[in-house]
Amino acid sequence: LNLVQRRRLFFGLLAVLACWPLGHLVLVDRYLVNPWELCGFAMYVQPNTLVEVRLFLSSGEVLSPEMLDQTAADALAEYRNRAGILGLLASPDELAQALRRSGHAPEELQIELRRQMIDSRGQLTYRKRMRRF
Amino acid sequence: MVDSPALPGFRHPPPTLVVAQLLPFHAAVYGTLMAIDHRALGPIHCAVSLWLAAIAALRFPTLRALPWLACLFLNALVFPEVPNHGYVLGLALLAIALFRADLPDERLVLATGYRYLVGIVFFWSGVQKLWSGTWSQAQFLIYEIGHSARFGQVFAWFTNRSEQRAYRMGGPFLGHGLLVWASNFVWIAEIAIGIGLLLSREVMKKRFAWAALLLLVAVEFVARESVFGLLVVGLLWPTVDKRFSIRWLWILVPIELLAILGRMSLVPGGFH
């Protein structure tokens, strides 16, 4: 590559980086992605706290952590860690498999994430997002 | 390209050349911190590779793409747990791989690219604070005073004891006086500096770079993030174009060591 091509390549990547935070704003809002993560430069805008995960079965029943065996509880903890960064973009496949192995057999799994945030009035609120898998 | 020893014939070498040779070592420190965090074989191998790649690139400039490749591999391995400065560092190393810092023309492109990179980071960091609405009444600062030792140590004297007690509980997290002023100053300055670094003319570029460095020092006084801090200093140094003897760069060694010790929880108050 000559200098012009290399320059185009690098400044093209910078242009992508300059536009990416717009997409990041959408991911944070729609999928509850952690604002601190994924190169959106939104560190220090919200508390960097863990997400809360609630599981719903197709019947609408809440699957509480106490109902899970060790394997499923570990899978839930692992999912919670990944969802702490990726929000609802984190794949629940391993969690669903662990639930199936432990006899809960969800045909349809609904996951609700809750992330603690500060609103503009200075109140702590929970932003919730739910997704069906 | 003819392999050449480090910084030949320069009493005070061009900053871009020094940065191109030292940034891979900073990346190696970053890799070490990630290895400490993850405590897994993959990141440990990547950290070792980053150190070896930094030494190889310093000795043989034709191998200057190696640190970028090692950093790319590390980031891919630990994704999505890549800190924001990990992406910026990756791009900065890519620039070193693409452009030869020993050629004046390419050095200029490298310096411009680095200035734009910092401009994007500052601009968006300010816009995100504005967009979130949690900096207009110092809401975020107030929350952190109640929940973070780092913020508490610096900002607690702006507040009285009963307020601090309320901030440790459920809020409301609304600031007053100097805190609100400081909170708004931060995002306004970040956006202004970001635009200045991206768009300003020759004379003003250097002033905006100095302004960015001053704001960075103020922010890092609270945040204590040496990996990000040193990275931004390195990226802006070519724009500032301040030349001095490379012996002064030994000051980086204790700072990098402090970052590693901080990650091992051996520095009181935290440092990373």
- pTM (2 d.p.): 0.92
Q: Is the confidence at residue B200, as pLDDT, over 80?
A: no
Using a CB–CB cut-off of 8 Å, the residues of A that contact B are 1, 3, 6-7, 9-11, 13-14, 17-18, 21, 25, 35-47, 82, 85-86, 118-124
Are B197 and B209 spatial neighbours (Cβ–Cβ below 8 Å)?
yes
The span from the CA of A13 to the CA of A17, in Å, is 6
What per-residue confidence (pLDDT) applies to B219?
Answer: 92
77-136 in B: which are within 8 Å (CB) of A?
Answer: 80-82, 84, 87, 91, 94-95, 98-99, 105-106, 109, 113, 116-117, 120-121, 124-125, 127-129, 131-136
The span from the CA of B201 to the CA of B215, in Å, is 20
Among B94, B120, B147, select the one facing A47 at the smallest CB separation. B147
User: Which of B25, B220, B177, B270 has the alpha carbon at shortest distance from A43?
Assistant: B220
Contacts of A55 (CB under 8 A, 6+ apart): A62, A63, A76, A99, A106, A109, A110, A111, A112
Q: Which residue of B has its CA nearest to A5?
A: B98
- Alpha carbon distance, N-terminus to C-terminus of chain B: 37
Scored b (16 or more CB within 10 A) or e, B236-252 reads bbbbbeeeeebeeeeeb
User: Which of B216, B137, B125, B215 has the alpha carbon at shortest distance from B179?
Assistant: B137
The span from the CA of A113 to the CA of A129, in Å, is 5
Question: Does B72 reach chain A within 8 Å, measured CB to CB?
Answer: no
Say whether B84 and A85 touch across the interface (CB within 8 A). Answer: no
Chain A nearest C-alpha distance from B91 (Å)? 8
The span from the CA of B36 to the CA of B43, in Å, is 9
Say whether B84 and A118 touch across the interface (CB within 8 A). Answer: no
**pLDDT per residue over B181-190, tens digit each?**
999 999 999 9
Are B58 and B6 spatial neighbours (Cβ–Cβ below 8 Å)?
yes
The span from the CA of B116 to the CA of A11, in Å, is 9
Question: Does B140 reach chain A within 8 Å, measured CB to CB?
Answer: yes
Say whether B124 and A41 touch across the interface (CB within 8 A). Answer: yes
What per-residue confidence (pLDDT) applies to B2?
Answer: 38
Chain A to chain B, count of Cβ pairs less than 8 Å apart?
Answer: 112
B173: its two tokens: 């997290």
B25: its two tokens: 């070592």
Q: Is the confidence at residue B1, as pLDDT, over 50?
A: no
The span from the CA of B237 to the CA of B231, in Å, is 10
B103: its two tokens: 């050629």
Interface test with A, best of B72, B94, B98 (most A CBs within 10 A): B98
Say whether A121 and B81 touch across the interface (CB within 8 A). Answer: no
**pLDDT per residue over A18-48, tens digit each?**
999 999 999 999 999 999 999 999 999 999 9
Output the DSSP codes for A78-120: HHHHHHHHHGGGS--HHHHHHHHHTT---SS-EEEEEEEEE-T
Per-residue pLDDT of chain A (133 residues; tens, 9 = 90+): 899 999 999 999 999 999 999 999 999 999 999 999 999 999 999 999 889 999 887 777 888 888 888 888 999 999 999 999 999 999 988 888 888 888 776 677 889 999 999 999 999 999 999 888 7
The span from the CA of B262 to the CA of A114, in Å, is 31
What per-residue confidence (pLDDT) applies to B9?
Answer: 54
- Helix (H) / strand (E) containing B260: helix B252-263
